[in-house]
Amino acid sequence: MARKFFGTDGIRGRTNAGVMTAATAMKVGQAAGRHFVRGGHRHRVVIGKDTRLSGYMVESALVAGFTSVGIDVIMTGPLPTPAIALLTREMRADMGVMISASHNLYADNGIKLFGPDGFKLSDEAEAEIERLIETDIPLAPAEKIGRARRIEDARGRYIHAVKNSVSNEVRFDGLKVVVDCANGAAYQVAPSAIWELGAEVITLGVSPNGTNINDGVGSTAIEALQARVVEEGADIGIALDGDADRLIVVDEKGRAVDGDQIMALIATRMQERGSLNGGGIVSTVMSNLGLERYLTSIGLTLERTKVGDRYVLERMKEGGFNVGGEQSGHMILLDHSTTGDGTIAALRVLTSLVRSDKPASEILHLFDPVPQLLKNVRYEGGAPLENDTVKSVIADAEAELDGKGRLVIRPSGTEPVIRVMAEGDDKKQVEAVVDRVCDAVRAAT
């Protein structure tokens, strides 16, 4: 059944339109609160947010929703998504909520939900909450309405936790690091954690004003970071997104390093130290074939899932893996976090940099990616992937790439777009295959 509210990563949309209104947020609070009421104890939820202007509105609406069904609310203010997952567990809360549209610009916002274990909700739990949203939810009697309070030490708790992901003997003295926080949720905690471990920190994107999140800064707009790293003669650049659950790195030469290369480094070092579980890592269908070939060459596997860090996490838990992620920069290190954590992943990269005594350009380029091309085709309605001609073109393209590359076609989970990706050793062949499939999809819409 098609979802009305939840997409691939919670609820997301343009603020004050569609699913992202104050009225909907209040209903989400009521529905999620009702879903997680179990037992006779006093129930509580931890709510965090990034730095969007609309965060105040959505937070207030969620607080109204939760308290109206008898749930106590703890508000943290701006904090990364993984910090909310952490605090949900630490504070024995029944659920956690992060208000963020991740890497989107400020006009969008979103709601991510966590269970009491700090993991994102299953498809089944989201489906049940969707069902409840459109029902008349019983409200708490007046004497049982929930209370709301803000806590002041949330940032310190998170900084302490991420620093604990680094061995006690590791210090970053002598490293010059440019940290770009996207004017988002990590604007205070990420630079502080890296500085406290000894590095010289130069900051970008740490002046949020409610409307500048991800605007020309952060992991989806790294040009400013690339220039600053070269200008400062820095050893490395770190780029987070708006809610700091993803990481992109820039080496000392100003070259971008995506999630595939970061995963290759982390997996290699953990294998060398005997701490990698599962015999490999988990990523999505979008990770480059070059990563898969590299891992195979060192005796590791790459297990692929559909796009979305929640699906990566599900497979990690099923298979006993402790490293997973996405090419886009989500890094899940299960030994330290229950969700993607850009700051913890950054500390892992910086640790490898210190221990290797080699430049970032050397340790962060462990394989040559094969040519990869992704194009999006917008459609107005219908199901173009069910069209017989489109199916035939896709089958021919897969046969052409068989043994030499891959073709991945998927509908977006958040907009009416078909994503067409191909990769292989022959760049011209990859481009031709993608164009043929895109043309077929357009003709079918």
Q: Dump pLDDT digits (tens) for 288-299.
A: 999 999 999 999
The type of residue at 16 is: N
pLDDT at res. 202: 98
Quote the pTM value.
0.92
- Domain spans of the chain, in order of start: 6-152, 158-363, 372-443
Distance CA 190, CA 269 (A): 23
Q: 372-443 — its CATH code?
A: 3.30.310.50
Distance CA 434, CA 40 (A): 56
How many of the other CB atoms lie within 10 Å of CB of 383?
11
Active site annotation includes 54: no
DSSP one-letter code for 337: -
Angle at 342 between CA 324 and CA 285, to 5 degrees: 35
DSSP assignment of 129-190: HHHHHTS-PPPPPGGG---EEE-S-HHHHHHHHHHTTS-TT---TT-EEEEE-TTSTTTTHH
Buried b (16+ CB within 10 A) or exposed e, 236-267: bbbbbbbbbbbbbbbbbebbbbbbbbbbbbbb
pLDDT at res. 2: 60
Catalytic residue among 102, 192, 283, 352: 102
> Among residues 372, 226, 381, which one has the least CA distance to residue 286?
372
Residue given tokens 């043929």 in the structure block: 436
DSSP assignment of 180-192: E-TTSTTTTHHHH
Q: Are 327 and 260 in contact (CB under 8 A)?
A: yes
Token duo for residue 365: 């380029």
At 302-346, the pLDDT tens digits run 999 988 888 999 999 999 999 999 999 999 999 999 999 999 999
Query: Cβ neighbours of residue 378 under 8 Å, at least 6 residues apart?
Result: 415, 416, 417
N-to-C CA span, the chain: 22
pLDDT at res. 414: 65
pLDDT at res. 416: 86
Q: Are 61 and 168 in contact (CB under 8 A)?
A: no
Token duo for residue 217: 């800064």
Query: Cβ neighbours of residue 411 under 8 Å, at least 6 residues apart?
Result: 385, 417, 418, 419
Ranges of residues in the chain whose predicted pLDDT is under 50? 1
Bridge partners of 283, per DSSP, are 304
DSSP assignment of 262-331: HHHHHHHHHHHTT---TTEEEEETTS-HHHHHHHHHTT-EEEEESSSHHHHHHHHHHHT-SEEE-TTSBE
pLDDT at res. 141: 95
Sign of CA dihedral 191, 194, 197, 199: negative
The CATH class given to the 158-363 domain equals alpha beta
Does domain 6-152 fall under CATH 3.30.2290.10? My reply is no
The reply to whether domains 6-152 and 372-443 share a CATH topology is: no
> Among residues 30, 15, 34, 37, which one has the least CA distance to residue 62?
30
Angle at 27 between CA 25 and CA 28, to 5 degrees: 60
Query: CB burial class (10 A; 0-12, 13-18, 19+) of residue 404?
Result: middle
Largest distance between two CA atoms of the chain: 69
Helix 259-272 to helix 342-356 angle (10° resolution) is 60
Residue given tokens 């969707």 in the structure block: 130
Q: Are 390 and 409 in contact (CB under 8 A)?
A: no
> Among residues 94, 142, 110, which one has the least CA distance to residue 7?
110
